[in-house]
């Protein structure tokens, strides 16, 4: 890879090295997906110490321009919406704590999906309605099985996809999957599955009828159960306590 002439050769900072390497990626001098030069090669290029080069590479990784997998050479990449949101999700849990963060994410989910239900009722086309119906049928088939959570997520994802907003869909994909993985247990999983499915069916029915008020009312009540469950877990502050069937 060719050197960047804008960088001087004395007392080069890690910030300057990171900027130079990022510029190489943006300008195509460093191909995305290819390994970047070794630390030794970079030290020679910028006449910088190994610790300075490592600090620059850390900056690149934080900014989304470096993919560092254990046991492999770091590779050039570029920031993506998914990577940014994943980092944000980790930061939220770090600041708020897992239980509190879960409650806040459930609340955010309410806003997204209530708006999605309203949009679907007003403008979903036949293809989108067919996908929602298919997701509902798969959800019905998995009641009482370990696969129910996955089909539950798929139903809600089909609903959010009607909006046509990739940012909202990415938020949903990342946060809702994690919420399902970490949600508190229930006393009656089969009963909970049946209740969730019936609520999904009511949401779909209201959308077909074009009843905006009914669709939003049902999904608000449906998601409020999940939020209350998070808040109960936070209040009890005990992972060993089983909450009510919500």
Same domain, 107 and 188: yes
If asked whether residues 53 and 104 sit together in one domain, one would say no
Q: What's the token pair of residue 124?
A: 């979903």
Quick one: 62 and 107 in the same domain?
no
pLDDT of residue 232: 72
The tens place of each residue's pLDDT in the chain, 246 residues long, gives: 444 444 544 468 999 999 999 999 999 999 999 999 999 999 999 999 999 999 999 999 888 899 888 888 999 998 876 666 666 666 665 655 566 666 677 777 888 899 999 999 999 999 999 999 999 999 999 999 999 999 999 999 999 999 998 888 887 887 776 666 666 677 788 998 999 999 999 999 999 999 999 999 999 999 888 777 766 766 665 454 444 433
Q: Are residues 155 and 34 in the same domain?
A: no
Q: Could you tell me if residue 140 is inside a domain?
A: yes
In a domain, 181, yes or no: yes
CATH of the domain at 122: 1.20.120.530
Task: Identify the pLDDT of residue 181.
Answer: 63
Query: Domain check: are 98 and 190 in the same one?
Result: yes
Q: What is the CATH number of the domain that holds 27?
A: 1.10.10.10
Domain residue limits at 48: 14-76
214 and 109 in one domain? yes
| Residue 156 within a domain | yes
pTM score above 0.85: no
Domain stops at, among 59, 76, 93: 76
Same domain, 137 and 44: no
Residue that terminates a domain, selected from 53, 76, 99: 76
CA-based diameter of the chain, in Å?
A: 71
Residues 86 and 141 in one domain: yes
The answer to whether residues 114 and 211 belong to one domain is yes
Residue 50 within any structural domain of the chain: yes
Structurally, how many domains does the chain consist of?
2
Q: Is the same domain home to 49 and 122?
A: no
């Amino acid at each position: 890879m060719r050197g960047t002439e804008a960088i001087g050769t004395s007392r080069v900072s890690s910030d300057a090295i990171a900027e130079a390497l990022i510029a190489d990626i943006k300008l195509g001098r460093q191909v995305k997906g290819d390994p970047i030069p070794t630390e030794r090669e970079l030290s020679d290029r910028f006449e910088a110490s190994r610790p300075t080069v490592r600090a620059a590479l850390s900056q690149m990784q934080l900014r989304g321009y470096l993919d560092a997998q254990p046991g492999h050479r770091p590779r050039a990449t570029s920031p993506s919406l998914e990577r940014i949101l994943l980092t944000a999700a980790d930061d939220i849990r770090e600041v708020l704590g897992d239980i509190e963060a879960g409650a806040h994410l459930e609340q955010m989910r309410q806003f997204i999906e209530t708006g999605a239900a309203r949009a679907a009722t007003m403008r979903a086309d036949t293809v989108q309605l067919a996908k929602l119906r298919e997701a509902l049928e798969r959800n019905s088939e998995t009641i009482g099985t370990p696969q129910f959570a996955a089909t539950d997520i798929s139903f809600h994802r089909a609903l959010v996809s009607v909006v046509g907003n990739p940012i909202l869909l990415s938020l949903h994909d990342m946060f809702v999957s994690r919420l399902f993985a970490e949600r508190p247990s229930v006393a009656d999983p089969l009963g909970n599955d049946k209740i969730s499915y019936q609520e999904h069916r009511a949401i779909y029915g209201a959308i077909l009828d074009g009843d905006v008020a009914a669709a939003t009312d049902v999904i608000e009540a449906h998601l409020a159960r999940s939020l209350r469950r998070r808040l109960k877990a936070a209040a009890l502050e005990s992972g060993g306590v089983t909450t009510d069937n919500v």
